[in-house]
Structure 1
Amino acid sequence: MQHTIVMTGASRGIGRVAAEHILRRSPDVHLLVVARESAGASLAAELAAGGRTVSHVAADLGSLGSVRSAAAEIRDRLERGDLPPLRGLVGNAGMQYTNALTEGPDGLESTFTVNVLANHLLVRLLQDRFAAPARIVITASDTHFGDFRHNMGMVPGPVWTSPDVLARPGAFPRPGGTGAGRTAYSTSKLAAIYLVHEYARRLPAGIDAVAYNPGLVPGTGLARNAGPLTRFAMRRVLPVMTLTPFATSPGTAGRCLADVVLGTTKAPTGSYVDRDRVARSSEESYDPQRERQLWDAAERFTAAHVL
């Protein structure tokens, strides 16, 4: 049966690989990619090669107003029947900055906006348009564990505090440095898992929410805002690690993401999928009080943009 999957972060890296897999393995899918306007049009045209059904909606995920406009367009297209029933949302877009001071148009720190609030606003604005059974997949990261085993010492672990602080520039010590930017990233990925747990509690039956961890994936565009040495290492040095159990190639990570989206990897709502299997996330990631506090804060930060 024809159905729609909305996807962010499909333009490069594991998202691009996952999009190709989804379209190849599920010919009934209408894949709707959310991306910046010029990039989205070319991406949709490339993915549609061979007769696949792909369209795009323009959005800057660093702007909650832009996310709202994109969601409104998706809702309108669903209501008009221009899109088949909505059965999937893939929040794969992610950003890591070289500091914790980057501020978006909403006055909020950009890592938190893109990695947490943009996904939340999309979920909330589209939740009454999902046709069960449906699945929401949010890309997380094993950097949220904060230990050497999971991040090889390259990313500091999360530093949790009030979401009202985390959402503002300068939430971490020495906010102008790379370490603070990476801490903002790992903390945002912990926040994503907290929200997945809340979605599992709050969304209607038949709408599942799952966190997906691709592992350490060298060679993607995540570090595109990093310094030249880090970018060189991500592109030229760390890819060798994909020959070991410590890293995942973009091809493998993208295929595993597609498996989660399409349900090939069985995962109950609220679960954490580590590449190709359901696993436990960090002990810190199971905290109902933090989850409720983050939900309440995310609702406040996005309230002005709810339709």
Structure 2
Amino acid sequence: MKHTIVMTGASRGIGNIAAVRMLRDTEDMHLVVTTRNRGDDLVAQLVRDSGNRQVSWVDAELSSLSPIRSAAAEIAHRLDSGLLPPLTGFVGNAGLQLASGNRATEDGIETTFAVNVLANHLFVRLLTDHFAKPARIVITTSDTHFGDLRHNMGMVPAPQWTSPRALMTPGTTKTTDTLTAGRTAYSTSKLAVIHQVHEFARQLPAEVEIYSWNPGFVPGTGLVRDASAVQRFAMKWVMPLMTLTPLSVSAKTAGTYLARLMVRGHSADSGAYISLGTAERSSQESYNPDRERELWRECEKVCDLS
């Protein structure tokens, strides 16, 4: 059956590889990718590399709520008018790591949280009524949410959870305009993603499953493009050598696993944490229904969905 999957974060790195793989392996799938401004070049690249012409784009600046609403409305229009086959999936792969925790979106929200958490919440909520059954949602998280040396190799600080409203607010401490603060905001946002997925698993209709997905440490993807020139050089040219060790994986490997999870699904229950291709327990801290409900309520308020 022909069907549609919507994907954010398909323009580079893991997401681009996953998008190509999904298109190559699933001829009856139409992939809608989100882009900033026109996406003709991205669509042309995906068609060229996959051999599948069933690709289109929709404009969505993921740091701002209004463009996400417009993008979701456009996708809904295409689905309702028959321009797209039924919607069976959403991949929230876009992610951001900044060298500061003090940057605000036009909505006044801390930028890392806006892109890594709120964008997924709003997109999924606006598309929920349009999912055909069965359907699958995958949101990319990170094992940095564990906050220990084994998972972050000392490169990313542990998450620092506070109220969701405070997490959405930029500049809440005197040290927010630092690289450490930016990376802390990143790991905390990835912990929030797991809380978010747990609550979505409770809220979504039957036969719409959702997973958080961890690619592991994947150097050279462009995630740290906001860092200094020296750090960007190291991540692009030095750190990829770690893919020769068990400590990290290549973007190609991670992208293949993401595509496989999206296309084939997993035997784990909805809400599960999937590390590459294996269902595992996320951090002990990530299992907290009170936090999850509070995060849901605040996202609903900020996104004006209540």
- Does TM, normalized by the shorter one, top 0.5? yes
| Kept in 2: contact 1:172–1:183 (CA 8 A) | no
Distance 2:93 2:166 in 1: 24
Q: 1:172 offset after TM fit, Å?
A: 4.8
Q: Equivalent residues in 2 for 1:136-155 (5 A)?
A: 136-155=137-156
Q: Equivalent residues in 2 for 1:152-171 (5 A)?
A: 152-171=153-172
Report the equivalent of 2:44.
45
Report the equivalent of 1:129.
130
Report the equivalent of 2:30.
30
Distance 2:278 2:303 in 1: 33
* Larger displacement relative to structure 2 (1-10 or 266-275): 266-275
Q: Mind listing any 5+ residue stretches in structure 1 that lack a counterpart?
A: none
Q: Equivalent residues in 2 for 1:74-89 (5 A)?
A: 74-89=75-90
Distance 1:190 1:52 in 2: 36
Are residue 290 (structure 1) and residue 291 (structure 2) matched? Answer: yes
Distance 2:21 2:52 in 1: 15
| Kept in 2: contact 1:173–1:180 (CA 8 A) | no
**In the alignment, residue 228 of structure 2 is paired with which amino acid?**
G
Indicate the SS of the match to 1:73: helix
When the two structures are aligned, how many residues end up with a matched partner? 304
| Kept in 1: contact 2:136–2:265 (CA 8 A) | no
| Kept in 1: contact 2:3–2:29 (CA 8 A) | yes
Q: 1:51 offset after TM fit, Å?
A: 4.0
Q: 1:266 offset after TM fit, Å?
A: 3.3
Report the equivalent of 1:208.
209
| Kept in 2: contact 1:259–1:265 (CA 8 A) | no
Distance 2:13 2:163 in 1: 32
Percent identity of the aligned residues? 57
Indicate the SS of the match to 2:151: helix
Q: What is the TM-score with the length of structure 1 in the denominator? A: 0.97
CA shift digits 1:207-253 (9 cap, x unpaired): 00100000000000100111112111110111111111111100000
Distance 2:45 2:268 in 1: 31
Cα separation, partners in 2 of 1:272 and 1:61, compared to 1, 3 Å? same
Distance 1:133 1:280 in 2: 25
Distance 2:173 2:289 in 1: 23
Q: 1:201 offset after TM fit, Å?
A: 0.5
**In the alignment, residue 45 of structure 2 is paired with which amino acid?**
E
Report the equivalent of 1:194.
195
RMSD of equivalent CA atoms: 1.2
Distance 1:95 1:61 in 2: 10
| Kept in 1: contact 2:113–2:189 (CA 8 A) | yes
Are residue 7 (structure 1) and residue 7 (structure 2) matched? Answer: yes
Report the equivalent of 1:261.
262
| Kept in 1: contact 2:220–2:240 (CA 8 A) | yes
| Kept in 2: contact 1:103–1:110 (CA 8 A) | yes
Q: 1:268 offset after TM fit, Å?
A: 2.2
CA shift digits 1:30-69 (9 cap, x unpaired): 000011123x221112212334200000010011101110
Cα separation, partners in 2 of 1:157 and 1:173, compared to 1, 3 Å? farther
Distance 2:270 2:40 in 1: 33
| Kept in 2: contact 1:198–1:295 (CA 8 A) | yes
Runs ≥4 residues deviating over 4 A: none
